[in-house]
A and B are shown apart, each in its own frame.
Chain A
Amino acid sequence: MIIRVCMGPAGIAAGGKQVLDAFNAELGRTQVAAKVLENCSSHQVGCLGLCARDVLVEVHRDGTKTVYQYVKPDMVARIVQEHLIGGKVVKDWLVDAAYDSFYRKQVKVVLADCGRIDPESIDAYESVKGYEAARDVLASRTPEEIIEEIKMSGLRGRGGAGFPTGLKWELGRKAKSDVKYIICNADEGDPGAFMDRAVIEGSPHAVIEGMIIGAYAIQAGHGYVYIRAEYPLAVERLRMALDQARSRGYLGKGIFRSKFDFDIKIKLGAGAFVCGEETALIASIEGQRGMPRPKPPFPVNKGLWQKPTVINNVETLANIPHIIRNGCGWYAGFGTERSRGTKVFALTGKIKNPGLIEVPMGITLREIIEEIGGGIESGKPFKAVQTGGPSGGCIPASMMDITMDYEALAKAGSIVGSGGMIVLDADDCMVNVAKYFVQFTQAESCGKCVPCRVGTKRLLETLERITSGKGSPNDIELLEELSGGIKSLSLCGLGQTAPNPVLSTIKYFRDEYDAHIRDRKCPAKVCKGLLTYSIDAAKCKACGSCLKACPSGAVSGEKKKPHKIDPAKCVRCGACFDVCKFGAVERE
């Protein structure tokens, strides 16, 4: 019998250690022969389970797994007594159906080993068939065969653009040069994205193996991992993994006893979103300021130090060993006609079960939100989901049956992007959401080209005007005009996609823009400048809390008489609303 207690960060926070101790004590006391193990504890791997139900405890008995949720130390005795000794599952504490659907709808390829193996041990990786694919490729397959295999798998780049990986490698293979490079893009700058970080922290060798196979396919002798310095744990694990791989002869001269030389260097990025753009990334590795360069020439012909360079995303590369090991047909079996395989999404926002999920492409948004995500946390109506981060757009609740694949999302005015997925409910203001993303892209614009540098600033100012109640009737047209110019004229993908959150919120939530501009109202009651505060005399108990809390002296009132707010003095900070215990302050 084995008992596994979740000791991931969330598990520990929920009291995992106490539960673990309780089991050990209880087993000692009752003399039951069972092993107590830790789940997800392998050196702080971010938990990929259903953290919201921690502490989760798995009991493995007679070949079946039973999972208990919200376990507290005082529940341990009963579980041991009834289940371990008595053989009867404690039904009251079992995980509910939602727990099931959370797992059932997911397909773990890239994340399969994350949290399951010790990421700091190359032996652990090899024990789950790690490096078998690379060994096989180096021993007995030609670059052309590998490229064909990846092409047939239908794998498309997971860094955002969805470019077919096999085709990219083919172009890299065909480029003529004595020196070529392969770069792993681990810059991951989208707000709210942490897929690549989880993969590197959880299974760094998988990324290295993917790079080895890619390097062999294009015949590149040098590799770089461009990773942001804000990921210190990922960097440390990667360094460790590179050393281990080198000491086994998987990197360096004549890798896997072949005639092929390949090694990988780490280059730390200083945390600029634009450095995830491939030409800016190359400039950054070369020691220049990270500013995009015009294409053509494309990196695959003239990239790093003007040599042919293939750049792939972390998740793209982590898929490679699995495809080689299991065959392209297996991988192509997941997903849709043109979007094959699985995709990792970072599910965040107003969702019950936030976290990283891996799903087959083509799954519907409804399945993700309702079944995996467990619905909206507050129980309020689901409003929209923002996919693709600052380059993407929103999908409204009315389109919940949309399939999550490159084509469908593009048609809806959004993108799969790198996999950020922010869930919004009735309390979110869509104009404010658009403003948030434009704020980000404006701050992260490299400043090189006019439409992006100045254009996004004007977009932002217009959105700020609208959300502060100073919008004018033609502001929507102005936003559209600016967006059109920025999209067509910007040099790189950052500018070309920066207006997407604005355009898609206008497309699906024009009424919210109208409400802000025409009625001077924020329907979600988010935009401070548009709220008015007043006191309902019938509910006011004249306690004076609001009077004390108001920083601008807008509240007046005497003992035992209902208080009043002077709208001329009110700065709309909401302090009165927050302090009133009687719900007498009204916000509109």
Chain B
Amino acid sequence: MAMVTITINGKALTVPDNLTVMEAANRHGIAIPNLCRHPQLTPFGGCRLCVVEVKGLPRPIASCTTPVTEGMEVTTMTPRLEEHRRFVLELILSDHPNDCMTCQATGSCQLQELAYTYGVKGERYPGERRIYSKRDGNPFIERDLEKCILCGRCVKICDEVQGVEAIDFGYRGFKAKITTPFEDDLDCEFCGQCVSVCPTGALTGKLWKGKGRYEGVRETETVCPYCGTGCNITVHARNNEIIRISSKPWAWNEGLLCVKGRFGYPFVKSPERLTKPLIRRASGNFEETSWTAALEYVSAWLKKIREERGPDAIGGLSSARCTNEENYLFQKLLRAGVGTNNVDHCARL
């Protein structure tokens, strides 16, 4: 990879030639406002907030899509550029419900933060606002497209990362909109990747509604218990109740989760959930017992069967919810402890 030398705000930088101007700036600690750019996705270039000036070019260019070239002289902050950014924010907010008071995304909304930084209220260019029905019968994802700024991130992550292509742009002009095929209810994997990258409150979890945003919310870093993949998750809880699950983009799983990890948490407080071992007695009834008693019961039966029928009368089936290490120990138990090769895993069934 070749290196090129460019100057950003008068500072000479030597950077790899496959970077965009924004990436080069970020690497050297220079932040450029942006909304549609997401590091996991290919650049889109739609919001136009990231415009910078390049010496010799007649118009400002989008730094998120423009590759660096040798000798480029870039300025990221001028009164004119700030005016441009304010212009874009004014336009976005002129077509936005601006109901941050009751919006799920308050506090974690990039649009809100930019509006705050630039002091833009969206009053300069008043006009028609898009009004959509919010009805979408899917069980997990709330889609409030009046808040959508058409940054395209959801479309891109669904396509480029998840490989599903459940949503795309539809219609033209002011009426352009992110839609499902034929405007049906969203019917997809419900991985929620789209929700995780939406910079506004357009996509949120249905389960999250009214449960809490940031006031009094405790975040706990942990590992998803659903499968051996071991995605890192952040559990958001308030009043000792899980109100939301998210994942940090810098976690090894890059903030990506599946439907179970992201939305499958209500079981935690289910009254039907087993919290103690049960033994089925001769009567057919389950009887609560201690872990010691339960394990002794199992080991006694395993020994008895092996003695009477031989080790191959026993087989073991392990679970995909176990980690690699747990699965290793399980087959060890059957092979070395019981003495059989009858061992399998539910993921093969």
Q: Which residues of A are at the interface with B, using a C-beta cutoff of 8 A?
A: 272, 274, 289, 291, 293-294, 296-297, 442-451, 453-458, 461, 478, 482, 485, 487-491, 496
Residue of B with least CB distance to A443: B173
**Which of A445, A454, A488, A489 is the most central at the interface, judged by chain B CB atoms within 10 Å of its CB?**
A454
Which of A297, A454, A485, A491 sits near B94, CB closer than 8 Å?
A: A454
A487 to B45, CA, bound (A): 16
Which of A445, A449, A450 sits near B172, CB closer than 8 Å?
A: A445
Q: Give chain A residues whose Cβ lies under 8 Å from the Cβ of B316.
A: none
C-beta contact mask, B48-80 vs A, less than 8 Å → 1, else 0?
Answer: 100100000001101001110000000000000
Q: Give chain A residues whose Cβ lies under 8 Å from the Cβ of B174.
A: 442, 445, 447, 453-454, 456-457
Residue of A with least CB distance to B83: A485
Residue of A with least CB distance to B64: A294
A443 to B92, CA, bound (A): 18
Chain A proximity of B127: nearest CB distance (Å): 5
Cβ–Cβ contact A455 & B45, under 8 A: no
A496 to B44, CA, bound (A): 18
Cβ–Cβ contact B168 & A454, under 8 A: no
Cβ–Cβ contact A447 & B176, under 8 A: yes
Cβ–Cβ contact A447 & B87, under 8 A: no
Other than the given A294-B66, A458-B127, 11 more pairs (CB < 8 A) read A274-B172, A294-B43, A296-B66, A297-B67, A446-B172, A449-B47, A450-B48, A450-B92, A451-B87, A451-B91, A454-B92
A482 to B124, CA, bound (A): 11
Offer 26 A-B interface pairs, CB within 8 angstroms, sorted by A: A274-B172, A294-B43, A442-B174, A443-B172, A445-B174, A445-B176, A447-B169, A447-B174, A448-B46, A448-B176, A451-B88, A453-B150, A453-B174, A454-B94, A454-B95, A454-B174, A457-B127, A457-B173, A458-B91, A458-B127, A485-B87, A485-B88, A488-B59, A489-B84, A489-B87, A491-B46
C-beta contact mask, B164-178 vs A, less than 8 Å → 1, else 0?
Answer: 000011011111110
The A-contacting residues of B in range 135-172, CB under 8 angstroms, are 149-150, 152, 168-169, 171-172
The answer to the question of B252 belonging to the interface, with a C-beta cut-off of 8 Å to chain A, is no
Cβ–Cβ contact B127 & A449, under 8 A: no
Cβ–Cβ contact B152 & A294, under 8 A: no
**Which of B46, B66, B175 is the most central at the interface, judged by chain A CB atoms within 10 Å of its CB?**
B46
Chain B proximity of A211: nearest CB distance (Å): 30
Q: A294-B66, A446-B176 are in contact. Are A488 and B60 (CB under 8 A)?
A: yes
Interface of A is mostly: helix
The answer to the question of B125 belonging to the interface, with a C-beta cut-off of 8 Å to chain A, is yes
Residue of B with least CB distance to A484: B87
Cβ–Cβ contact B172 & A491, under 8 A: no
The answer to the question of B99 belonging to the interface, with a C-beta cut-off of 8 Å to chain A, is no
The answer to the question of B128 belonging to the interface, with a C-beta cut-off of 8 Å to chain A, is yes
Which of A482, A485, A491 sits near B45, CB closer than 8 Å?
A: A491
Q: Give chain B residues whose Cβ lies under 8 Å from the Cβ of A487.
A: 59
Q: Give chain A residues whose Cβ lies under 8 Å from the Cβ of B127.
A: 457-458, 461
A294 to B48, CA, bound (A): 11
Residue of B with least CB distance to A294: B65
Residue of A with least CB distance to B43: A294
Q: Give chain B residues whose Cβ lies under 8 Å from the Cβ of A478.
A: 125
A451 to B91, CA, bound (A): 7
Q: A448-B150, A450-B46 are in contact. Are A489 and B125 (CB under 8 A)?
A: no
A32 to B316, CA, bound (A): 108
Cβ–Cβ contact A447 & B173, under 8 A: yes
**Interface size (B, Cβ < 8 Å)?**
35
A551 to B261, CA, bound (A): 63
Chain B proximity of A113: nearest CB distance (Å): 37
Q: Give chain A residues whose Cβ lies under 8 Å from the Cβ of B168.
A: 289
Q: Give chain B residues whose Cβ lies under 8 Å from the Cβ of A482.
A: 125
Q: Which residues of B are at the interface with A, using a C-beta cutoff of 8 A?
A: 43-48, 51, 59-60, 62, 65-67, 84, 87-88, 91-92, 94-95, 125, 127-128, 149-150, 152, 168-169, 171-177
Chain A proximity of B224: nearest CB distance (Å): 34
Residue of B with least CB distance to A461: B127
Residue of B with least CB distance to A485: B87
Cβ–Cβ contact A485 & B84, under 8 A: yes
A488 to B48, CA, bound (A): 10
Q: Give chain B residues whose Cβ lies under 8 Å from the Cβ of A461.
A: 127-128
Q: Give chain A residues whose Cβ lies under 8 Å from the Cβ of B91.
A: 450-451, 454-455, 458, 485
Q: Give chain A residues whose Cβ lies under 8 Å from the Cβ of B125.
A: 458, 478, 482
Cβ–Cβ contact B47 & A450, under 8 A: yes
A294 to B65, CA, bound (A): 6
Q: Give chain B residues whose Cβ lies under 8 Å from the Cβ of A456.
A: 173-174
Q: A289-B168, A443-B172, A443-B173 are in contact. Are A489 and B88 (CB under 8 A)?
A: yes
Cβ–Cβ contact A458 & B94, under 8 A: yes
Residue of B with least CB distance to A457: B174
Q: A457-B128, A489-B60 are in contact. Are A447 and B51 (CB under 8 A)?
A: no
Q: Give chain B residues whose Cβ lies under 8 Å from the Cβ of A491.
A: 45-46, 48, 62
Chain B proximity of A456: nearest CB distance (Å): 8
Q: Give chain A residues whose Cβ lies under 8 Å from the Cβ of B84.
A: 485, 488-489
A402 to B128, CA, bound (A): 40
Q: Give chain A residues whose Cβ lies under 8 Å from the Cβ of B47.
A: 449-450
Q: Give chain A residues whose Cβ lies under 8 Å from the Cβ of B92.
A: 450, 454
Q: Give chain A residues whose Cβ lies under 8 Å from the Cβ of B48.
A: 449-451, 489-491
Chain B proximity of A212: nearest CB distance (Å): 34
Q: Give chain B residues whose Cβ lies under 8 Å from the Cβ of A445.
A: 172-174, 176
A252 to B168, CA, bound (A): 37
What are the nearest 4 A-B pairs in CB distance? Answer: A447-B176, A294-B65, A454-B91, A294-B45
A289 to B155, CA, bound (A): 12
Q: Give chain B residues whose Cβ lies under 8 Å from the Cβ of A485.
A: 84, 87-88, 91
A449 to B60, CA, bound (A): 14
Chain B proximity of A384: nearest CB distance (Å): 27
Chain A proximity of B114: nearest CB distance (Å): 12
**Which of B173, B174, B175 is the most central at the interface, judged by chain A CB atoms within 10 Å of its CB?**
B173
Chain B proximity of A448: nearest CB distance (Å): 5
A456 to B95, CA, bound (A): 13
Chain A proximity of B15: nearest CB distance (Å): 17
Chain B proximity of A90: nearest CB distance (Å): 56
Cβ–Cβ contact B173 & A489, under 8 A: no
Residue of A with least CB distance to B88: A450
Chain B proximity of A455: nearest CB distance (Å): 6
Q: Give chain A residues whose Cβ lies under 8 Å from the Cβ of B66.
A: 294, 296
Which of A443, A444, A448, A458 sits near B152, CB closer than 8 Å?
A: A448
A518 to B79, CA, bound (A): 34
A389 to B195, CA, bound (A): 41
A451 to B47, CA, bound (A): 8
Cβ–Cβ contact A453 & B45, under 8 A: no
Q: A294-B43, A296-B67, A449-B45 are in contact. Are A444 and B51 (CB under 8 A)?
A: no
**Which of A442, A448, A478 is the most central at the interface, judged by chain B CB atoms within 10 Å of its CB?**
A448
Cβ–Cβ contact B94 & A453, under 8 A: no
Q: Give chain A residues whose Cβ lies under 8 Å from the Cβ of B46.
A: 448-450, 491
A76 to B94, CA, bound (A): 68
Q: Give chain B residues whose Cβ lies under 8 Å from the Cβ of A490.
A: 48
Cβ–Cβ contact A272 & B45, under 8 A: no
A487 to B88, CA, bound (A): 12
Q: Give chain B residues whose Cβ lies under 8 Å from the Cβ of A447.
A: 150, 169, 171-177
**Which of B44, B92, B174 is the most central at the interface, judged by chain A CB atoms within 10 Å of its CB?**
B174
Chain A proximity of B132: nearest CB distance (Å): 14
A427 to B43, CA, bound (A): 48
A446 to B169, CA, bound (A): 9
Q: A450-B47, A451-B88, A491-B62 are in contact. Are A272 and B172 (CB under 8 A)?
A: yes
Chain B proximity of A176: nearest CB distance (Å): 16
A231 to B5, CA, bound (A): 50
Residue of A with least CB distance to B62: A294
Q: A491-B45, A491-B46 are in contact. Are A444 and B173 (CB under 8 A)?
A: yes
Residue of B with least CB distance to A296: B67
A293 to B62, CA, bound (A): 12
A296 to B68, CA, bound (A): 10
Chain B proximity of A137: nearest CB distance (Å): 35
